Structure 1
Amino acid sequence: MGANWPPSRFWQFWALAGMLVLTAVFWWGVEGYAYYEGGYARGPIADGLLRFSLLILTPALALMWLAAAWLRRRVGETGYWQLLGLVAGIWAGAVLVTRMLLV
């Protein structure tokens, strides 16, 4: 093994967070698209929030997870986890409100 093995705690937590983030992104991508194609959005607010969560927030969550090494150098480990938590919280809130408006 190389000199950087085992990976640091940051990368271990990043991998664990990735399991949650990538599962959530895939799940909402499939379910949200099914809602969109099925015409479940009754009204402009539900439709707009559904589109925004699918087209903006879901890719932002995946990109925030992927940009860990770049962001870690710029904002530090604590700053990265705060940013990831902020984006994940906004995403989860938008998904929750969207599901409440659709069902």
Structure 2
Amino acid sequence: MSGPLWPPSRFWQYWALAGMAVLTAAFWWSVRGYAIIESGVPRGQIADGLLRFSLLILTPALLLTWLAAAWLRRRIGEGGYWQFLGLVTLIWAGAVFVTRMLLS
């Protein structure tokens, strides 16, 4: 063992806080996006494609990035992990934002 296990390091404290936001947002978009798909409301091809892409590709990518923290931290460092999580989060949030704009 390299150090005490409790309290957790600052990295894991921030990871847990980020997880609350990531998991809540992913759950919200998964439920909302599925409801939009099932509603049968007519959508354009771009809106429909972006909706499906954000649900099937970007949301799992966001969750996997958050879950793979220990593995990514060893390979790209703490700062690199937060930059990578931020990049994936911004891409995901942008897709959700544009999809919502196109559907309203």
What TM-score range do you get, normalising by the shorter chain?
A: over 0.9
Taking the aligned partners of 1:101 and 1:66, their CA distance within structure 2 comes to: 30
CA deviation after TM superposition for structure 1 residue 4, in Å: 1.3
Taking the aligned partners of 2:62 and 2:47, their CA distance within structure 1 comes to: 20
Q: How does 1:1-103 map to 2 (within 5 A)?
A: 3-40=4-41, 42-103=43-104
Aligned pair count?
A: 102
What TM-score do you get using the length of structure 2 for normalisation?
0.95
Q: Which amino acid aligns with 1:34?
A: A
Deviations 1:17-53 (A, max 9, x none): 0000000000000001101111235111000000000
Q: Percent identity?
A: 78
CA deviation after TM superposition for structure 1 residue 68, in Å: 0.1
Give the superposed CA RMSD: 1.2
Q: Is the 8 A contact 1:53 1:94 kept in 2?
A: yes
Q: Where does structure 1 lack aligned partners over 5 or more consecutive residues?
A: none
What TM-score do you get using the length of structure 1 for normalisation?
0.95
Q: Which amino acid aligns with 2:43?
A: R
Q: Which runs of 4+ in 1 moved over 4 A?
A: none
Taking the aligned partners of 2:41 and 2:88, their CA distance within structure 1 comes to: 26
CA deviation after TM superposition for structure 1 residue 101, in Å: 0.5
My pick for the range that moved more, 34-43 or 56-65, is 34-43
